[in-house]
């Protein structure tokens, strides 16, 4: 008996198998399992750490065997998953933090129901969001509310719905990723207001960007999609603008540092890693990836310098991504391939493009004339080192100017994502304390960060540092105080505050 075992521990999703009619089966994700995949004389199994054996979803005999309740369809290296999740979490995972990895891995698959069909000894599996499954169910039969409420739990009594189940299976199996369901209408004024309440100083740019992304979100024609190149100094709200729009639209948002990309064959990551991250942010749902907003951050760092052929190749590698193609994405060699279509994703090239903004005659794109009468034309980006083919994929160019002192004041005192206002909310929730500041506090924070090289991030750092000793005191003496007051003295010395 030939027996092969993959190296190291692996993760898999255990699916409950539910028979429909004829040769159709449902796969319902039940839990993530750690163990090892085995290949015994050509047949795959997964052995969990507790000794449980799970059959492969591509084994016809296992599928047809009524005594087999569970199947698995993908595996991944536990070490790779821990590293992947660590890169995308706010805290560091250690070797013993397995439960969190299992839960996150399961969450990435939980939204989808698999439909498995055996046809002429061939097995095909597609995965569909639960809400899409129910939608098709409701269209085909007048089902009871009880079924709708229980669909995500067992579905063990699904056969009670008779022949309609077969119709559902056929309809779902004909469903393809190119199907574009109706997108909700967007109130663009509401979207602009939502962003302007959080991002200060770029009202005209936000108006344009909201318009472009709203049009992208609602179109059904990939030729109508527009991508945006955004240039401007660090820390003025470029990336945050798109993250907030994605939050409003409830679509996946990815901020990907293009500096990690490399030419094929060299050390580094490739374009497929961007789509892996998109899939992760979409909780494994192919449907959700379709309208994702992806910021290709620090794209200016890909500019060609001298005879740097590798940087030109990396720019070339991005072209297909922006054009709109279907990519075969595999999170690991053990996992099944998923097809991800980028045709309706909104791509944002984002970078500082230092020294590009020099005064010019008005022959190109006007930057806010009230600020410095500067102009930027397409040739400026080509001279900077961006290739014409890539620039041609960005139909719109938006320039974010440095913030004025008054803009920074409004960020600190009025923006809904002001670091101080966020702290006020945290103090209220966590300590039951009302946090207040006088004008001297705000002015001291602005003065301290006036020459910060990291833009608005400097405000956050300064606010957080000024409140650290106060937080320490409230943690040590919970439930005693109701009000906290900070001033200029608190910025100078974090021990100086008033508690009542």
Beta bridge partners of 498: 485
Q: Which CATH number is associated with domain 405-499?
A: 1.10.8.60
Task: Spell out the domain ranges in the chain.
Answer: 3-173, 188-399, 405-499
Please name the residues in contact with 176: beta carbons below 8 A apart, sequence gap of 6 or more: none
Please name the residues in contact with 472: beta carbons below 8 A apart, sequence gap of 6 or more: none
Q: Which pLDDT belongs to residue 259?
A: 86
Q: Please, which pLDDT band fits residue 295 given cuts at 50, 70 and 90?
A: very high
Q: Please, which pLDDT band fits residue 386 given cuts at 50, 70 and 90?
A: very high
Please name the residues in contact with 477: beta carbons below 8 A apart, sequence gap of 6 or more: none
Render the burial of 57-88: b for 16+ CB within 10 Å, e for the rest: bbbeebbeeeeeebbbbbbbbbebbbebbeee
133-147, 183-197, 246-260, 263-277: segment of lowest average pLDDT: 133-147
Kindly state the average pLDDT of the residues 471-480.
93
**Res. 70: pLDDT tops 90:** no
d(CA 493, CA 141): 69
The two three-digit tokens of residue 241, written as one number: 């603008």
67-76, 79-88, 470-479: segment of lowest average pLDDT: 79-88
Q: What is the mean pLDDT of the chain?
A: 79
The candidate with the shortest Cα–Cα distance to 329, out of 238, 321, 24, is: 321
The candidate with the shortest Cα–Cα distance to 9, out of 74, 79, 56, is: 79
Per the confidence metrics, is the pTM higher than 0.75?
Answer: no
Q: Which pLDDT belongs to residue 135?
A: 55
Please name the residues in contact with 148: beta carbons below 8 A apart, sequence gap of 6 or more: 134, 137, 138
188-399: CATH superfamily: P-loop containing nucleotide triphosphate hydrolases (3.40.50.300)
Kindly state the average pLDDT of the residues 451-463.
83
The residue written with tokens 């990291």 in the block is 454
Q: Which pLDDT belongs to residue 112?
A: 73
CA 13 to chain centre: 21
Which of the two residues, 59 and 152, has the higher pLDDT score? 59
Taking a C-beta distance cutoff of 8 angstroms, is the pair 357, 399 a contact? yes
Please name the residues in contact with 131: beta carbons below 8 A apart, sequence gap of 6 or more: none
């Amino acid at each position: 008996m030939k027996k092969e075992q993959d190296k190291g521990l692996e993760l898999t999703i255990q699916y409950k198998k539910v028979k429909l009619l004829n040769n159709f089966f449902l796969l319902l994700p039940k839990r993530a399992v750690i163990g090892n995949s085995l290949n015994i004389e050509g047949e795959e199994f997964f052995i969990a750490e507790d000794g449980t054996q799970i059959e492969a979803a591509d084994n016809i005999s296992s599928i047809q065997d009524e005594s087999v309740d569970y199947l698995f369809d993908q595996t991944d290296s536990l070490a790779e998953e821990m590293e992947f999740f660590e890169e995308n979490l706010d805290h560091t995972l250690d070797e013993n933090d397995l439960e969190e990895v299992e839960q996150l891995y399961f969450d990435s698959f939980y939204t989808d129901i698999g439909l498995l069909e055996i046809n002429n000894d061939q097995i095909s599996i597609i995965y569909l969001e639960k809400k899409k499954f129910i939608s098709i169910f409701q269209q085909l039969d007048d089902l009871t509310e009880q079924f709708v409420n229980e669909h995500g739990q067992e579905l063990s009594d699904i056969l009670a719905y008779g022949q309609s189940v077969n119709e559902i299976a056929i309809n779902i199996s004909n469903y393809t990723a190119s199907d574009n369901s109706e997108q909700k209408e967007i109130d663009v004024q509401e979207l602009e207001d939502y962003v302007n309440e959080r991002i200060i100083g770029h009202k005209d740019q936000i108006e344009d960007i909201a318009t472009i992304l709203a049009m992208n979100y609602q179109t059904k024609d990939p030729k109508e999609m527009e991508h945006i190149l955004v240039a401007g100094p660090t820390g003025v709200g470029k990336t945050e603008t798109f993250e907030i729009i994605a939050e409003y639209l409830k679509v996946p948002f990815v901020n990907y540092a293009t500096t990690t990309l490399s030419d094929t064959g060299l050390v580094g990551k490739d374009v497929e890693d961007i789509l892996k991250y998109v899939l992760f942010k979409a909780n494994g749902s192919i449907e959700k990836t379709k309208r994702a907003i992806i910021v290709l951050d620090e794209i200016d760092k890909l500019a060609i310098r001298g005879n740097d052929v590798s940087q030109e190749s990396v720019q070339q590698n991005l072209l297909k991504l922006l054009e709109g193609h279907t990519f075969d994405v595999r999170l690991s060699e053990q996992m099944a391939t998923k097809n991800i279509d980028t045709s309706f994703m909104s791509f944002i090239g984002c970078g500082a493009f230092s020294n590009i903004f020099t005064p010019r005659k008005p022959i190109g794109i006007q930057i806010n004339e009230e600020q410095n009468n500067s102009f930027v034309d397409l040739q400026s980006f080509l001279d900077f080192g961006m290739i014409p083919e890539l620039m041609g994929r960005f139909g719109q160019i938006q320039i974010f100017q440095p913030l004025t002192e008054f803009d920074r004041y409004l960020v600190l005192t009025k923006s809904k994502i002001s670091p101080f206002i966020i702290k006020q909310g945290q103090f209220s929730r966590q300590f039951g304390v009302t946090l207040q500041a006088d004008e001297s506090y705000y002015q001291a924070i602005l003065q301290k960060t006036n020459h910060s090289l990291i833009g608005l991030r400097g405000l956050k750092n300064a606010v957080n540092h000024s409140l650290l000793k106060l937080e320490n005191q409230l943690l040590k003496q919970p439930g005693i105080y109701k009000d906290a007051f900070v001033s200029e003295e608190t910025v100078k010395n974090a021990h100086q505050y008033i508690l009542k």
